[in-house]
Structure 1
Amino acid sequence: MSALSRPTQRLSLQCLGAVTLSTLCAALPLGAQAADNYPSKPIKLIVPFAAGGSTDIVARVLAEGMRSTLGQPVVVDNRGGAGGLIGTEAVAQAPADGYTVGMATVSTMTINPLLYTRAQGLGAKLLPVANLVTMPSVWMAHPKMGVNNFPDFLAKIRAQPGAFSAGVPGVGTLGHLMLAAFNDTMKTDIQIVPYRGNGPALNDALAGQVQVMTDQLPSALPQIKGGKLIPVALSATARSPDLPNVPTFKELGYDDLNALGISWFGIVVPKNTPAATVKKLQDAAVKAAHLPDVQKRLQALGAQATDMDQSKFPAQIAADIQRNKAQLDKAGIQPE
């Protein structure tokens, strides 16, 4: 190699290094710019249940609010099936760019991983963003039981062990855990009858085939207002304006039963979604849940926006998993 070529080679390498460095430097602002520009297109909100249920209704209310706070359409995409597994898996497998968001519930995040081997490890692929809405559940008795309040209901159940049955949406569901926990706490013997979903259970409760039913307040209210089922207690943060004379389990002195029956609805994203994007999404979602119009629509459902510290959402999920595992173990329910 000539003396002339060596400096030329060094110069070429220096130029190449300069070009590479300048390329990297140019790329860095673009990456930051991508987070700054989020969202720049519509967002898909996957609901892991069929249209028309509580999760879907809440999701659509939130989606309208988030359209306002994010400045982009939020399109609800129902992916029902397998108890919420199909939709939750779809979120976990989506690109981690903030444009696929999933609705998260007590069932999908804290019961399914304990109930189905297919769901084990699914939570590790998801990043909790925000717990946005809580919804109470109500305990109801068929009119033929002849009770109109909780003391009479409890007295009748205790006086006739095994004489009354309750319908639940399936083995290991939140409804099942609520009934099992009630029996354990109250030392009662309500017979638990699993159905394939909430609809069939409610139909048999209305017909008097089962005498006890728990349900989320929005879907229960029409039956209560029609006099077809009698409300005796609520799992709720406070009494419902629609049922001012019905006490919460907390008022009755049963904090654990109260907490178990309160459903929550939040959002999750794929695990590796950039932190800046997650923060923007979290802030916008929390703001959306507290918009006056959104709050009004939630209250009409018997639900309310949460005011929790969102940094505690992952810890809440972990605590609920531990609580629900204890309930499933007591009931002898194994993963399938």
Structure 2
Amino acid sequence: MHTMPTHRLSLKALAIAALAVCAALPQARAQGSGNYPNKPIKLIVPFAAGGSTDIVARIVAEGMRSTLGQAVVVDNKAGAGGVIGTESVAQAAPDGYTVGMATVSTMTINPHLFTRAEGLPAKLMPVANLVTMPAVYMVHPSLGVTAFEAFVAKAKAEPGKISGAVPGLGTLGHLMLASFNETLKTDIQIVPYRGAGPALNDVLAGMVQLMPDQLPSAMAHIKSGKLIPFVQASEGRSPDLPNVPTFKELGYDGLNQLGISWFGIVVPKNTPAPIIKRLQEAAVKATHLPEVQQRLKTVGANASSMDQSQFPAQIARESLRNKALLDKAGVKPE
């Protein structure tokens, strides 16, 4: 029986292996981070269209189209207070083509509020904190106060008489009012609603006297004189509210930090580091484009100036703070 010499067999095997490697290279490159991105990217927004997160996402997505050279397509997956959309990001392929919008509530409140969201942050990688949005505390004109000191004095003089609307139990608005009560030793009655819309309607009708809200959704009612702002949570006074002091300048830094919302992006946990770096650079660059900054300003938001290496630590720190606040407010996970 004739056998092929072993060295020829190994050469033949090597040649076949080399061909296989060459054939696989373009595919490997396409899947790797070398020419990422080479197709559109999906940006999942875990809330309905038209809300603050969606508005910010669409502005950022437009900017990233030019810094990444690929379309960034916004996909709204609302439900369960942001949990459903965040879950879909965590379950996506870690290839950089599914990115999620992350907020204070999805990353630092929901994991302590909903049992199904408990392990979600561990399945995600923070990429960048992109945008911050101030909040404003406003009252119905019938309350008869326009200044911070006057409001606090009235709230202390009439414990339990003033009521404040919040979008739901355990929401950021709820934590803000509970912290206000604790810090300033007031006794504002907290009234939880099913969403910010119904809460705002009752404040506008004067059925509830007070509401903390994000600046973009509050601004129209402030400009029309239907609601009166008396303090804001912001790094500096908003150009739209130059006469309204910040908690920071009044000496309440904790309340100031708690009230500033942020919007960032996250990816599934095992996304390769070069892809994360590419996304981070493109996203930060996008928020600093003059036209993006202009659009953010028109909705009352600002491009974040934070050192992005600090973003994971910020999430961890705020998660601990918000868990303590939820526990203090007696909100149990559901």
Report the TM-score, using the length of structure 2 for normalisation.
0.96
Shift of 1:31: 3.4
- The residue correspondences of 1:58-73 to structure 2 (distance < 5 A) are 58-73=56-71
Counterpart of 2:163 in structure 1 is 165
2: CA distance between counterparts of 1:35 and 1:165?
53
Shift of 1:125: 1.2
Counterpart of 1:56 in structure 2 is 54
Shift of 1:335: 0.9
2: CA distance between counterparts of 1:312 and 1:324?
18
Structure 1 stretch displaced more, 313-322 or 91-100: 91-100
Counterpart of 1:15 in structure 2 is 12
1: CA distance between counterparts of 2:266 and 2:117?
15
Does residue 193 (structure 1) correspond to residue 191 (structure 2)? The answer is yes
2: CA distance between counterparts of 1:21 and 1:257?
63
2: CA distance between counterparts of 1:32 and 1:332?
52
Counterpart of 2:136 in structure 1 is 138
Q: Where in structure 1 do 4 or more consecutive aligned residues deviate above 6 Å?
A: none
- The residue correspondences of 1:208-247 to structure 2 (distance < 5 A) are 208-247=206-245
Structure 1: where are the runs of 5+ without partners? none
> How many equivalent pairs are there?
333
User: Which residue type is aligned with residue 87 of structure 1?
Assistant: G
- The residue correspondences of 1:83-98 to structure 2 (distance < 5 A) are 83-98=81-96
1: CA distance between counterparts of 2:123 and 2:15?
39
What are the Cα deviations for residues 114-139 of structure 1, in whole angstroms up to 9, with x where unaligned? 10000011111111110000000000
Aligned counterpart for 2:280 among listed residues 274, 279, 282: 282
What are the Cα deviations for residues 1-50 of structure 1, in whole angstroms up to 9, with x where unaligned? x7x63x62453145324543664477467535641211111111111000
Counterpart of 1:42 in structure 2 is 40
Structure 2: where are the runs of 5+ without partners? none
- The residue correspondences of 1:104-123 to structure 2 (distance < 5 A) are 104-123=102-121
2: CA distance between counterparts of 1:27 and 1:312?
38
Counterpart of 1:273 in structure 2 is 271
Aligned counterpart for 1:183 among listed residues 181, 185, 196: 181
Report the TM-score, using the length of structure 1 for normalisation.
0.95
User: Which residue type is aligned with residue 135 of structure 1?
Assistant: M
- Partner-residue secondary structure (3-state), 1:213: strand
What are the Cα deviations for residues 152-175 of structure 1, in whole angstroms up to 9, with x where unaligned? 111111110000110100000000
Shift of 1:273: 1.2
Aligned counterpart for 2:251 among listed residues 247, 250, 253: 253
